[in-house]
Amino acid sequence: MNIFIALLATLLCSRVRLCDGTTFCVVGGVDSANNAIITIHSASQGWVGFGTGSRMAGSSMYVAWRNSTGGVVLSPRQASGNILPQISSERIASLVATPSSITTPSWAKISFSFKRPLAGIVTLTSSTSYIYAMSDSAPENPDSPAAAIGIHSQRRSLGPVDMTQSIDSPDQILSVGGGGPILSLPSGTTYDMILRTHGIIMFVAWVLCPAVGIFIARYLKNAMGVWWFRAHFMIMGVGTGLLTIAGITLVYLYKAPPHFDDSPHRVGGLVIGIAMVAQIVLGIVADRMFSPTRTAVPWWDKAHWWLGRGLAVLGILNVFGGILLFQSFGYPVSLVIKVLVSFTVGVVVAAFVYGEFRLGQVHHMAGKSYDPEQTALQSDGSYIPLH
Ligand code: HEM
Ligand code: HEM
Ligand SMILES: *[C@@H]1O[C@H](CO)[C@@H](O)[C@H](O)[C@H]1NC(C)=O
């Protein structure tokens, strides 16, 4: 976080959504009466505090926890140093309902919104810095706003963040430590639309394309002759290949760093993308090195089959992982979508079971059925025995 980001946010004139991984998020902006409206999401369940400045001393802090009946208690505090902050003498902050445009991440244990005027002991400006801290241990008497809280288990200085833009404007998404995304969202769009587009592209690339492209390579060589290869190359090499690169690039450009970290989906997605490039290279090698007189299946062909089969399975798992990750951000995924995706995957599996038992074992075309261990496919679509 640095001044540059604060400036960027100002230029873009949008409310800020700043997250530290999946442990802490703050969304802040001002309402029409020029009050700051600040929403906090915390993954810790004891207490969470958000304050001005870059250290405890002199900070106007807003600490919150759950009371004995589950409601949120807001406790404005101030501290003279790294010691237990005391109740603030300033009575300008109050809890408000979280604006409906703000989604609560599924990992959040404490979420609340409060309002205060920009002016105060510490006046909020476009370049005010902030800190946060949290703990999983709740105060002993949670019904009192003056309750003593234990020391934080996690804390961080966030640097300058502009919380003075309209709370009704779209989110400017920032993450702690890395700065903002390479591109800012096109006007009228929200980040979840980027992720939905990524999801649809990847669904086509890793559920629909492999279903057809691999089915053809595995079962339809006989039926399609030379066309099986052209179709497989177009669907897998061009279709899956370009769509995957586009889908990953899309998130990369609009997501604030860090990239490819912190979840099996992001790490797995990158691994799938890289392995896919190797798979395409292996496919091209298998085609170029093909010789009708070969007497054994070369290793690069086998590597292409097995890497391809593995990628097909991983790709489908990553599609489900992506949907779960998307949901964990608090974005809704309709039941219809989940049912449709699962149903499609079910149909694909059924098609391969059918292919395996009805097409894979085509023995009535003696000598012409394609068993890669026994026969080699020639470019004119006919087969010659390998042994
Ligand atoms: C096999 C298919 C998929 C691959 C290879 C893939 C790949 C990736 C990669 C590499 C990232 C990390 C990008 C970065 O950190 O800059 C990512 C993030 C993400 N993907 Fe996917 N993805 C796939 C399918 C999906 C699907 C179907 C969804 C459903 C909506 C989805 C939702 C997400 C979400 C929510 C993120 C996190 C974005 C963030 O951290 O802000 N992905 N994906
Ligand atoms: C992400 C992209 C790709 C995936 C996931 C993929 C997957 C597969 C799979 C799983 C098989 C074996 C089918 C089976 O018997 O189980 C296969 C066969 C084959 N693929 Fe691909 N493929 C991809 C791209 C390509 C490309 C770009 C080419 C060529 C330029 C290619 C050329 C071939 C060839 C020649 C075979 C048949 C090998 C043989 O049966 O001797 N593939 N592919
Ligand atoms: C807990 O908080 C809720 C909402 O803030 C409030 O309505 C309720 O009275 C509080 N319960 C106690 C026991 O103080």
Taking only the tens place, the pLDDT of each residue in 270-317 is 999 999 999 999 999 988 887 767 777 789 889 999 999 999 999 999
Residue 253 to residue 268: CA distance in whole angstroms: 18
What is the CA(97)–ligand 3 centre distance, in A? 14
Residue 104 to residue 36: CA distance in whole angstroms: 19
User: Global pTM?
Assistant: 0.66
Q: Looking at the CA of 204, name the nearest ligand.
A: 1
Show the DSSP H helices in the chain as ranges. Answer: 3-12, 191-203, 209-219, 221-224, 227-232, 241-254, 264-288, 299-328, 335-354
pLDDT in tens, 244-274: 999 999 999 988 777 898 789 999 999 999 9
pLDDT in tens, 169-194: 888 888 886 655 788 778 777 778 89
In this structure, the residues whose C-beta lies within 6 A of any atom of ligand 1 are 195, 198-199, 202-203, 206, 244, 248, 251-252, 255, 259-260, 265-266, 269-270, 272-273, 315, 318-319, 322-323, 325-326
User: Is the peptide bond between 385 and the residue preceding it cis, with omega within 30 degrees of 0?
Assistant: no
Atom 20 (ligand 1): residue with closest C-alpha?
322
> CA–CA distance from 237 to each of 106, 203, 230, 242, 365 (Å)?
37, 16, 10, 8, 30
Q: Which parts of the chain sit beneath pLDDT 50?
A: 1, 3, 7, 9-11, 361-370, 386-387
What is the CA(323)–ligand 1 centre distance, in A? 9
What is the CA(377)–ligand 1 centre distance, in A? 37
